[in-house]
Amino acid sequence: MANWVCDQSYDKLPAEAVHEVKRRVIDSIGTALGAYNAAPSKIARAVAESLHDTRAGIVWGTTHSTCPELAAFANGAMVRYLDFNDTYLSAEPAHPSDNIAPCVAVAQAAGKGGKDLIAAIVLAYEIQCRLCDADSLRRSGWDHVVYGALSSALGAGKLWDLDADQLEHALGLAGVCNIATRQTRTGQISMWKACAFSNAARNGVFAADLARRGMTGPFEIFEGPKGLMNQLSIPKAADVVLADGGDYMINKTYIKFWPAEYHSQSAIDAMLQLRSEIDLDKVEEIHIGSVEAAVSIIGSEPEKWRPTSRETADHSMGYCTAVALIDGDVTRDSFKEERLSDPKILELLDKTKITEEPELNPGYPKGIPNHITVTMGGGKKVDKRVDFPRGHAENPMTDDEVVSKFKRLAQGVISDGTIATILDKAWHLDELSDLDELFQFKVM
């Protein structure tokens, strides 16, 4: 891994990967702005703004400069809060754009420009997604952010120009102490869901900073007798093969079309396609046939039928599909506190069943097969299966759709002039020598 990271550079990237980074930066700033006034965002910013450090990263939406670790934490929490940033599904699901905030923070601290930032983001995506391909953390009760500590450490290390030996120590330092349990995403879900990866990224940045100053880390962090592969039951992590010939993983990840956990995206899509055929007053049953991962993550726990927090509701496939049927869309407003007790939604939830359908499992993780059947009075049934929802790598959003999503999230938070400036600078990210031109902006 360390040798591969050292060998990467902007000049080796295909145009497709460079363009995809620009789309993900736009999407990430947008999701951060959409979550700007949420409680976890305010808390994270307050922590970051409690420290002033002129050498480091900007807290997005302000002119405040803090240390790179806290900039990574605060900005990453904002990107993640709405569950609207990008996704990758594999043996382990993840949100690889969580790597963008730490890469930006360190790039600013190191005085790097757009090309170096792009290269670091591509390699951080690569590390995390290839680890997700290799083995499942979820299976043994661990959280995907364990891989994020490693990917963010290597992204930060690249931007700080660490050599292979230093990068290996950064991996040891990041890997030995960032073992997170999946309790973050179990039962009623708390604000911490937004912060779990940004905390891992904070620690990944810290590990890289220590390594560049000469700190050594534990050796054999993967294969050692008490290393990650043995302790976390992920022996296949040894099988990671990194990009060869430009086949970068960022091109295989997905931008979200709706602000909800990704396994529900195809169920939302299917319900919206069925909606015109459904008489809401006559619905007797909604059955969602799905895959093991979706049922386990967002369709099996009793809390998902009576969510009491936004975080739990956006991780409830039943809630998201009920809202889609009632409202004709799923938006940030779908998860306002008053909607959680909406009698119409709760009535539909009581009529909803979610079951694992073995015949759908082979379609995962290439797609996310969800098959909805709605039964109405008189025995009328309508059904729809969707494997590749809008935004999936097999059904990607256009650039115009990415921009439209950004504008919806940013409007009312920053001025129209700032919106135009961010879009212009992001589309020309590879031409920027000073990243403050893009990332230092103020909210209204």
Q: Are residues 36 and 108 in the same domain?
A: yes
pLDDT 10s digits, 115-168: 999 999 999 999 999 999 999 999 999 999 999 999 999 999 999 999 999 999
Domain's final residue, options 386, 407, 423 = 386
Sign of the C-alpha dihedral computed for residues 244, 389, 136 and 30 taken in this order: positive
Q: Are residues 168 and 273 in the same domain?
A: no
Percentage of the chain beyond pLDDT 90 is 96
With respect to residue 444, please indicate whether it lies within any of the assigned structural domains.
Answer: no
CA gap 188, 270 in Å, rounded: 26
- Cα–chain-centroid distance for residue 228? 23
Q: Are residues 408 and 365 in the same domain?
A: no
pLDDT 10s digits, 339-365: 999 999 999 999 999 999 999 999 999
CATH number at residue 171: 1.10.4100.10
With respect to residue 375, please indicate whether it lies within any of the assigned structural domains.
Answer: yes
CB 323 within 8 A of CB 271: no
Q: Are residues 110 and 79 in the same domain?
A: yes
CA gap 134, 136 in Å, rounded: 7
Q: Are residues 248 and 100 in the same domain?
A: yes
Q: Are residues 64 and 212 in the same domain?
A: yes
**Whole-structure pTM value:** 0.96
Q: Phi/psi class of residue 131: alpha, beta or left (left: φ > 0; alpha: ψ in -120 to 50)? A: alpha
pLDDT score at 353: 97
pLDDT score at 243: 84
pLDDT score at 297: 94
CB 146 within 8 A of CB 178: yes
CATH number at residue 283: 3.30.1330.120
Q: What is the DSSP letter of 373?
A: E
Q: Are residues 236 and 122 in the same domain?
A: yes
pLDDT 10s digits, 162-194: 999 999 999 999 999 999 999 999 999 999 999
pLDDT score at 293: 95
pLDDT 10s digits, 76-100: 999 999 999 999 999 999 999 999 9
With respect to residue 236, please indicate whether it lies within any of the assigned structural domains.
Answer: yes
> How many domains, in total, are found in the chain?
2
Q: Are residues 72 and 158 in the same domain?
A: yes
Strand partners, 442: 61
CA gap 339, 328 in Å, rounded: 15
With respect to residue 104, please indicate whether it lies within any of the assigned structural domains.
Answer: yes
Q: Are residues 380 and 246 in the same domain?
A: no
Alpha helical stretches, state H, 213-329: 228-231, 265-274, 292-298, 310-313, 317-327
What is the extent of the structural domain holding 73?
A: 2-257+397-439
Q: Are residues 364 and 435 in the same domain?
A: no
With respect to residue 391, please indicate whether it lies within any of the assigned structural domains.
Answer: no
pLDDT score at 246: 80
* pLDDT at residue 391 is higher than 80: yes
pLDDT score at 54: 81
Q: Are residues 418 and 294 in the same domain?
A: no
Q: Are residues 288 and 252 in the same domain?
A: no
